[in-house]
């Protein structure tokens, strides 16, 4: 039954009042949205990621196009290093292999492009930059 059903919870609260204690005030929670999340408290919107496949598509094209320019061709270097490492497949790439540099560089550029794409695309659709 717990304390909710015991006689302790039914005691008059005025018996515990004192001039040293201020009355307790219930603060409003500005993060609580009525009825959101089934009555649970939430700090984020339900759809905080706001996933959109346009961002993924344009972000991937926006990274593949400049990284595939023949003069620098980061994508070509990365795929070539994959081929070189697959030539001796059962053994993993050495720590000094160029594969790790191209792997980290290529993926870091992709994730940065996708992040800025998400910020720019969603900011524009929600008129964030117009304020």
pTM of the predicted model, to two decimals?
0.58
C-beta atoms surrounding 78 within 10 Å: 19
Which of the 8 DSSP states describes residue 29? -
Please report the pLDDT score of residue 33 as a whole number.
54
Query: What is the distance between the alpha carbons of residues 81 and 4, in angstroms, rounded to a whole number?
Result: 67
pLDDT in tens, 18-69: 566 566 666 666 555 555 555 565 676 677 667 778 888 888 999 999 899 9
Alpha-carbon distance values, 94 to 47, 70, 87, 101 (Å)? 42, 27, 13, 12
Measured CA angle at 64 (ends 58, 70), to 5 deg: 145
């Amino acid at each position: 039954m717990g304390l909710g059903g015991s006689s302790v919870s039914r005691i008059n609260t005025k018996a515990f009042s004192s001039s040293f204690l201020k009355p307790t005030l219930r603060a409003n929670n500005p993060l609580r949205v009525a009825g959101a999340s089934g009555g649970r408290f939430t700090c984020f919107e339900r759809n905080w990621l706001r996933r959109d496949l346009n961002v993924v598509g344009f972000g991937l094209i926006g990274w593949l196009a400049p990284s595939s320019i023949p003069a620098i061709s980061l994508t070509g270097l990365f795929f070539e290093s994959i081929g070189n490492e697959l030539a001796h497949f059962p053994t993993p790439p050495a720590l000094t292999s160029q594969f790790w540099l191209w792997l980290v560089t290529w993926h870091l550029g992709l994730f940065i492009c996708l992040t800025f794409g998400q910020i720019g695309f969603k900011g524009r659709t929600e008129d964030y930059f117009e304020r």
